[in-house]
Amino acid sequence: MSDAVFEIDPDIRLARTLPARVYSDPDLFRAQRDSVFARTWQYAAHDDLVKVPGQVFPFTLLPGALDEPLVLTRDLSDQIRCLSNVCTHRGTVVVEGAGHEQQLRCRYHGRRFTLDGRFHSMPEFEETKDFPSPADDLPQVGLGAWERFLMVSLAPAMPFEEAVAPMRARLAGLPFNALVYDAAGAREYLVNANWALYMDNYLEGFHIPYVHSSLAATLDYGEYAVELERYLVLQLAIAKPGEAAFALPPSHRDHARSIGAYYFWIFPTTMFNIYPWGVSVNVVTPLAVDRTRVSFLPFVWDGAKRETGAGAGLDRVEREDEAIVEAVQRGVRSRLYERGRYSPAREGGVHHFHRLLAEFMQSR
């Protein structure tokens, strides 16, 4: 397939949307593993999972797309690390479950690593030459923290700070230290659609009056705003009079606006939705070309505001989104549809995402 297929005109007034094949061709999905997912920052965990030195938390990065076994540790000098969770001897997974450890010990032949990933010891290797070497340490994986949230990248194409700086600046001063994870309120959805269709839908408020009647009742559609950054899109949901909104100090640039929600998206798969009640982290896991898992992880700083305004009824809104996105997946397989055009007034976020996806898929 020629690169030209992925060209998205930088001028949204001239541009055509992504070719339908990007959403339905298994070869293109496979190519995205290295060209997109391995090179970008993905949500990993919140820092409570590695709260004290010695705590370890193994996880698989993007199961279905990257399937990379990783482990978060807090080492004895109180540093959080992300390490490969694959033993440097013969390649078994080292840490099988979350817990507290002095060292990481491989249960296959007893190789030990310190919590910062360095090789520590190994039985029966006295006669092995040039051993140990740095190649026997567990590889370190790129790790970044925004407030309480940890993101990782195998081979980042951009520094973490470049990806998150606009969000860090915009939300400084909100009470992130008070956040409590609401495990009972977490939800997982399986969507029969390509991950990028789910993102397209997330990145525009255009469909809100058509698809989300309950949400639309709380928002001022005319004031809905989109801001584009290099690797990030911010959508601002402006509350109707009387609906829940942030009370921001006079020094804050959004003080004069009645913000019902900040919807931050970090290219390609992570969303931080900030509501007056707290943060809903939405994580998209691309499982296959036409299957996507979406996780909603709620972190609460003001439980009394939970079911108010744009932050209310999130389960209903998600089901409405799922139904429409699954309908798009059926449509993009059509022999009679190739690509569309954008609304410059309403689809700047979708256009920005398509430009990023085109950029990354070309630079394989």
Min dist CB 191 to Fe ion, Å, is 12
Among Fe ion, ligand FES, none, partner that 321 touches (CB below 5 to 8 angstroms by kind): Fe ion
Q: Is 251 exposed, middle or buried (0-12, 13-18, 19+ CB in 10 A)?
A: exposed
131 is in the binding site of which of Fe ion, ligand FES, none (Cβ under 5 to 8 A by kind)?
none
> How buried is 112 (Cβ within 10 angstroms: 0-12 exposed, 13-18 middle, 19+ buried)?
middle
- Map the footprint of Fe ion across residues 91-120, applying CB under 5 A: none
Residue with Cβ nearer Fe ion (69 or 349)? 349
**Radius of gyration in angstroms for the set of CA atoms belonging to the chain, rounded to a whole number:** 22
Locus of tokens 């397939």: 1
One character per residue 158-187, x = contact with Fe ion (rule: CB under 5 A): ------------------------------
Phi-psi region of 20 (alpha: psi -120 to 50; beta: other; left: phi over 0): alpha
Contacts of residue 363, Cβ cutoff 8 Å, sequence gap at least 6: 35, 157
CA 105 distance to own-chain centroid:
30
Residues within the interface to ligand FES (CB under 6 A): 87, 89-90, 92, 106, 108-111
The interface partner of residue 89, options being ligand FES, Fe ion, none and the CB cut-off 5 to 8 Å by kind, is: ligand FES
Q: How far is the CB of 310 from Fe ion (least distance, A)?
A: 11
Interacting partner of 111 out of Fe ion, ligand FES, none (Cβ under 5 to 8 A depending on kind)? ligand FES
Q: Which of 7-15, 46-54, 117-125, 317-325 is the region at the interface with Fe ion (rule: CB under 5 A)?
A: 317-325
Of 356, 248, 251, 246, residue with least CA distance to 311: 246
Q: Which is nearer to ligand FES, 107 or 316 (CB)?
A: 107
Residue pair 332/20 in contact (Cβ under 8 Å)? The answer is: yes
- Whose Cβ is closer to ligand FES: residue 109's or residue 341's? 109
Question: From the CB of 97, what's the least distance to ligand FES, in Å?
Answer: 16
Rule CB under 5 A: say whether 68 interacts with Fe ion.
no
C-alpha distances in Å from residue 62, one per residue of 69, 200, 251, 359: 9, 19, 39, 21
What is the smallest separation between the CB atom of 91 and ligand FES, expressed in angstroms? 6
From the CB of 149, what's the least distance to ligand FES, in Å?
31
Looking at the Cβ atoms of 110 and 209, the one nearer to ligand FES is: 110
Distance CA 189, CA 213 (A): 21
Among 204, 229, 290, 321, binds Fe ion (CB under 5 A): 321
Q: 157 or 310, CB closer to Fe ion?
A: 310
Closest residue by Cα to residue 149 from 273, 66, 244, 63: 273
Asked if 204 is part of the footprint of Fe ion (rule: CB under 5 A), the reply reads no
Instruction: Return the one option of ligand FES, Fe ion, none that residue 60 interacts with (CB less than 5 to 8 A, by type).
Output: none
Question: For 312-329, b where at least 16 C-beta lie within 10 A, e where not — what string?
Answer: bebeebbebbbebbbebb
Tell me which residues touch Fe ion (CB under 5 A).
321
